[in-house]
Structure 1
Amino acid sequence: MTDARRRWRFVWSVTVWWVLLALALWLLGKTLDQPTSLAACAGSAALLVAGGEVGDGLRRRLRARRRGP
């Protein structure tokens, strides 16, 4: 897979996770009768997705370091 295709695949993957998580948070808030806005849920989802991607990157880096050069 080329770098450009890998990059687009990553962008689409993160975007889909962000949208799904934002909708899930919004629907959960509506279900629990909490005052939620879709914008606030989208912001929270962005932070959660960013944290997850950073954690995944660290996990991959540590795994590669353990395997050795």
Structure 2
Amino acid sequence: MTDPRRLRRFALPVTAWWMLLALALWLLGKALDQPASLAACAASAALLVAVGEAGDWLRRRITRRSARWRRGPSRPH
């Protein structure tokens, strides 16, 4: 199972980003005279956060693999 502290360390920042992004989208819509409901902005923000987190995961995975590739195969001592 996943450690609850690790899950909380991931969930709290992601939730904060989602809420801030939803609010920013909603305020931007109000400022540009194209208001959308807060629910629609929250859904858009959730999609943006999910794509961003997936991109970050992929970037970290590629970085790990390329670092392993640069080191070369491990040799027995």
TM-score by length of 2: 0.82
- Where in structure 1 do 4 or more consecutive aligned residues deviate above 6 Å? none
Higher helix content, 1 or 2: 1
- Contiguous gaps of at least 5 residues in structure 1: none
If asked which structure has higher relative contact order (CA below 8 Å, sep 6+), I would say: 1
1:9-65: CA deviation from partner (whole Å, max 9, x where unpaired): 100011000000000000000000103100000000000000000000000000000
Indicate the residue corresponding to 1:60 in structure 2. Answer: 60
Percent identical among aligned pairs is 69
Bigger Rg, which one: 2
RMSD over aligned CA atoms reads: 1.5
Point out the more displaced range, 30-39 or 45-54. 30-39
Which 5+ residue runs of structure 2 have no aligned equivalent?
70-77
TM-score (norm: length of structure 1): 0.92
Q: Report the count of equivalent residues.
A: 68
